[in-house]
Amino acid sequence: MPKMETGYKKACGAYAVIFDAKKEKVGVVPSGSGYRLPGGEISRGESELACLMGTVGADLEIAGFLGKAAQETGARSMDEGLFYLGKW
């Protein structure tokens, strides 16, 4: 992950990677620009798991943490995603 300099606006989200029974496909949801993983932006004071349960649903079971990724999304803006293995 690039070193965070002062003055960057940072957004952080939590997302579930949910495979089908054969582990051949990953579940996605429609978005304005195509498709994305289920999940969303973490609100101030909210935990990653609370965010996932609130956006994906209480039926989601978290099987483990997969990792995180960050990308610069514009001038002085950085987005970070936390990814969890999910099961229904």
Q: pLDDT, tens digit, for every residue of 63-85?
A: 999 999 988 877 777 888 999 99
> Beta strand 39-41 with 34-36: parallel, antiparallel or unpaired?
unpaired
CA 31 and chain centroid, separation:
14
On whether the pTM is more than 0.85, the answer is no
DSSP 31-77: ETTEEE-SEEEPPTT--HHHHHHHHH-TT-EEEEEEEEEEEEEETTE
pLDDT of 4-60, one tens digit each? Answer: 556 677 889 999 999 999 999 999 999 888 999 999 999 999 999 999 988 888 788
Q: What is the rounded (10 degree) CA torsion for 31, 37, 40, 45? A: 180
Residues 84 and 27 sit within 8 Å (Cβ to Cβ): no
